[in-house]
Every structure is written in C-alpha cells, then in structure tokens.
Chains A and B, each alone.
Chain A
Amino acid sequence: MLRPGAWAVLGASLLVGTLGCVSAVSSIEPGARFEREPDEAGLWQAAERLERDLEEGGGLSSDVALATYLDGVAARLIGTDLAGTGLTLRVRAVRDPYRSAFATANGALYVSTGLLASLENEAQLASVLGHEIAHFTERHLLRQKRIDASSEQVAKAGRTLLTAAGAGIGMLALPLVILGDLVVGTGLEAATTGYSRDLEREADRIGFQRLAGAGYDAPEGARVFTHLREELVAEGAEEPFFLGSHPRLAEREASYAELLQAHGGAEGDVGQDRYAEAIQSVLLENLRLDLALARRAPAHAALERHLSHDPSSAEGWYWRGELTRRERGGAALEEAVRHYLRALELAPTHKEALLALGLLYREQGRDGAARPYFTRYLAADPGGVDRELVASYLEPEGHARSR
C-alpha cells in the first residue's frame, strides 16, 4: 500500500506526464501550412459533419447580411494570422435560443441566435469570438481530448453537464437546434461544456489580446460575462451550455477583470450602432424560437429592443400582437387586434398580420369580420402554400366542408 506521500509523488508524476503530452500540441502558426495530428482526424470529421448537418437541416440563420457581418468581426480579430496555413475562419449563426458559442477544430465558430440577441454591442461580440478563436488557434479540442484520455474523471464530468433540452417533434414544433444536444458523442463535447480551467484561462488571455489588438473597447468587451450572468440571474434560470452556467461565467468574469487591470483598460471601438443594425432580424427570428420554448422574458426583451431601435417596424408590431394574444388570450384580444392593425398601418400588405386577424375572427365565428383580411391576404400572397386553404375560408361553411 502506498503512503500518502507516495500518492502525492505519483499524482504529480501523472500530472507532469499529462501536461507534457498536452504541451506537445502546437498552436496554429501563422504562415506555416497546417498539418493535422493523427488523433485530430476524428475531431475534424465531427466538425465537418456538424457543419453539414446544420446547413442541410435548416439549423443556421438564413440572414446573409448577418453572416457577412459576423465573418467581418472574426476577420478583424484574426488579422493575417491564418495566411498561408490553408485554414479559414467562418462564423455561423445557429437557430438556438439559448446563449451559446463554440469553436470546432476546422475553424468554424458557432454563435447562437440567443447569444446574439443577448449581447449589447460589437465589442462584446468580439470578446466572445476572440475567446472562441483562441480555442481554435490553440487547438484546445485536441488538447482537451488528450487530457480527457488521461483522466477518465474529467471526461465523465464534462459529459454529464450536457442536458437533453431539445424540442422538435414531427410537424408541430418549430425547428430549432440545441447545440449542447447536437454534439453529444461526437468528441466535440468540451467545446460546449467548457474546457479545463487552464485552457479556458488561456483562451481568456489570448482572446483578450485579440480584442484589444483589433482596437475594440476592452472594458466593454470584458463586461460581456458580467452582462450574461446578470441576465441569467434576472431570468432565474440556467441554460444547457457553459455560457449559461453561473460558476463558469463567474470564472470568466474574474479572469477578464484581471486581464483588464493588467491592460490598463484603454478605451476603443464599442460598435453599438453597427451591432444594433446587424442583429435586428436575429432579434425577431430568435423571438420565435424563445416563444416555442415558452421563454417569455428574453422574447419580451428582444421585442422591446427591436421596437426601440425601429418604432415603425411593422414586423415588430405584428409580434407585439402575437405576444399579447398568446400570453393573455381572450382578455387581451382587443389589445392584440390594435397591435396587428398598427402593423397593417405601417405595411398594408403584411401577410402575417392579415392572416392573424382573419384567423382570430374566424375562430370567434365572426366570418364577416374575417373575410376582408383573408381577401387581402390572398391578394398580398397569390402564390402562398396555403392559398387553397385560405380561399376555402371564404366559401360558405357547408361548401368548404364538402370538398
């Protein structure tokens, strides 16, 4: 039997061995052609499969302008560091209402629509992306994989953090992605559950350097984790992702506070207006996803943010009508109708508002009131997939049923 002292020596030897193995992984070197390690192939395959599944399965936001904007922020952060490596960096906005972001081994960075809807400015986005870029350039997935291989406990702890929170069944549920669910069993788990403390701190340090080096406002960028933690506290919830976990956020918060103190906190580019402009469609897209999971607080926050940015947004007023009707039902239908009508004042051919009014009146048995809205809807969208159905609503009840 080993004495306690011997255990300590053995433990230290194992630790040194582990770190020695991990330190053998080199960072991606600017100008040098990137070569995969033999045990990195699986991580690349998983990354490519994930990218393909998300693209083919409708899991990515279709907002082209947003994609260009996100790639632009990432390009500003990475500078010329990938030149000559044969690698490319790209950012994908995933239709996931929870706050999440992660990097895969092949240079794809994923940011959820929930996180984009939550961030306040471009400096905060740059802070998150800088951190994720550091995970990529320092090949943390490979390093974590080697740590996990030598430490069964870490591997298990990481996996048990994952939760199955997805919604998506048959034809009833809105398609959305829960990134944490998607990577189970792929080898990419660490990217969503969080890396070891040392690797996270390294990503903090390098990410912060990129943030400041790209001219972003360091104090504002560093504030992102405080902002996320405060939002979670206000909502009284944790989310199935390490960015939605209080302890993990608190660690990042403390780490960035140290880095900021050492840096001196020089001010820089916040990018408030640019960011607000870029995410307007995401706010509403994510609102739909939030509603599908009954996440009311973020849905309301997104709507108010959108309407304060653009008070004459017909889409915004339509969604205010929807929120009113869905949450307060019969008692607030008149109020919901006023919001739909406001949307139609701003955009007389707003299809969803026309259809919402028509269906609302039809459900109440007020076919006469519904008719003009259905007629206008058919005129506004002559090629709609539901044209035949809506046309049938205009027919006398018996006739429509007999068809």
Chain B
Amino acid sequence: MRARAEARWLAMSASCLWLVAGSAVGAEDRAAEEKLCFSIPRQEFLERVSRLGVFRLEVPPRMKLSLDAQSDMERWIVSELVSTGLQVESPSAIEPIWQGVERRIRSRRGAAGSVEWTEEMYAALRLHGSHELRRRLRLDALLVPSIEVIPGPFHPRKPDQRAAALCLVSRVFDMDGTLLYRNDSCRLVIEKIDAEGIRMRASARMLGSALERRYLAAASLHVLRGVAAPDRMD
C-alpha cells in the first residue's frame, strides 16, 4: 500500500516537475531563458569556468530538511555538474578552507562564536575566502545552491496567477563575487502545482523521496547543464 502510494507520488511529482520546468524550456524560450540566467555571454562562461566549487545547500531556517536530504541534494548537484564535463569540488572540500578563513576573521574580533558580523568582516571573508579557494583548489567559480521562497507567476498557462513558492535556486559566482549565472527564469517549484494550476500541500512530504530530490537537483541546473548538453532534460 505504502509502496503504491510512493509510486503514485513519484509519478505525480515527475509530471508536475515536468509541467513547471517544461514551461521554461520550450525551444522558443531557450534563448531568452539563457539570457536571463547568464549575466555574461554563455560562450564566455564556457571559456572562463572549468573548475567549479559547490557550496553547502542553504535552507530557510524554518524549513525542515534532514541532513541526509540536504547531503543528497548536494551530491546530486555535484554529479549533474560532473556529467557536463566540469571539474567539480564538493562542499566537503570547500568548507574547511572557507571556515578556516572565517575563524581567523572572527577571532580577530573577540571570543569565537559571540561575534556579530559586520559588512567589513563579510567583505574580508569574501576576499580572503575566495583567494584561498582560488590558490589551493584553482577554482574558477563557486556554485551556491539554496532553497528560497520566491513570489511569482508559476502556472504556465495562467501568468497572472500570483503565488509564492519554495524554489531550488542555483547561483554561480566568479572568484571576485560577480554573479555569472542564476536559474532565475528556470527556477523549479518545489511546492507542487498540478495540471490545473492548483497548488498542493506538499510541505509534509517536501523533498520526501530520494528520486524527487534528484529531479530537483537536475532540473535546477538544466540551463547550466545545457551548456554542455543542450537537449538533455530529466
């Protein structure tokens, strides 16, 4: 019974995901979508980025997402990127270097853990953290995945219908902090919208299955992946 329910859920998830993501990847929309996603010409992105570091997935504080689910998402994001031919450093390789820089900046300002971060400290962290990653891992860019609440028209046939939805957003920054890519138009709605545009309560089972998490990870990167495999879409 449970297996059947799970299978039905998966089938529904897949079709919902396809519905929403598919609305953004029609052939006629592809050029416009890429233009929205890439803030530099795509060709230049290809030339500049070959080694990419992936940061930890950022999750809204009130969202309940298990550490296992979070790790799954990160792992699949890495594997999707690797499948495009990119050289990728995982969050576990990035984190100790970044945290080492963070610790030293924080310790300068007093007892560790009790320091309120100022813009000056963030600026120093960005500069020196990126410097260390570039120097030690030879990275060209950093991908920051996050789950965010985004307002917008999410129904493909009802653009006037406004909603706010949880989305998996991927951003790529160069090592100077310039935003190179953001899956803005091709964001994937985690909260389900069925074929009639009715939003479904999915929070209890949000990201409930491993396969679903994998769909999300793949689809959130589909324009970026399209750089290497333009027609591939799960």
**A residues whose Cβ falls under 8 Å from a Cβ of B:** 58, 156, 159-160, 164-165, 167, 169-175, 184-185, 291-295, 326, 329, 355, 359, 362-363, 384-389, 392
Contacts and interface: CB of A to CB of B under 8 A. Distances in A.
A386 B178 contact: no
Contacts of B122: 171, 175
Nearest to B151: A184
A156 B173 contact: no
Given A363-B134, A385-B121, A392-B104, A167 B160 contact: no
Interface in B67-106: 101, 104-105
A326 B122 CA distance: 20
A359 B153 contact: no
A293 B39 contact: yes
A167 B171 contact: yes
Interface of B: 39-40, 48, 55, 58, 101, 104-105, 107-109, 118-122, 124-129, 131, 134-135, 142, 144, 146, 150-153, 159-160, 162, 171, 173-174, 176-180, 182, 184
Contact of B179 (A173, A184, A388): A173
A171 B142 CA distance: 12
A165 B184 contact: yes
Contacts, number: 94
Contacts of B127: 355, 359, 386
B53 to A, nearest CB: 11
B16 to A, nearest CB: 21
Contact of B178 (A292, A362, A388): A292
B107 to A, nearest CB: 7
Contact of A167 (B119, B125, B179): B179
A392 B125 CA distance: 15
Contacts of A293: 39, 178-179
Which of A291, A385, A388 has its CB near the most chain B CB atoms (within 10 A)? A385
A84 to B, nearest CB: 40
A284 to B, nearest CB: 15
A293 to B, nearest CB: 6
Contacts of A175: 119, 122
A388 B103 CA distance: 10
A326 B104 contact: no
User: Which of B118, B126, B128 neighbours the largest number of chain A CB atoms within 10 Å of its CB?
Assistant: B128
Contacts of A173: 171, 173, 177, 179
Given A164-B151, A169-B171, A172-B173, A385 B120 contact: yes
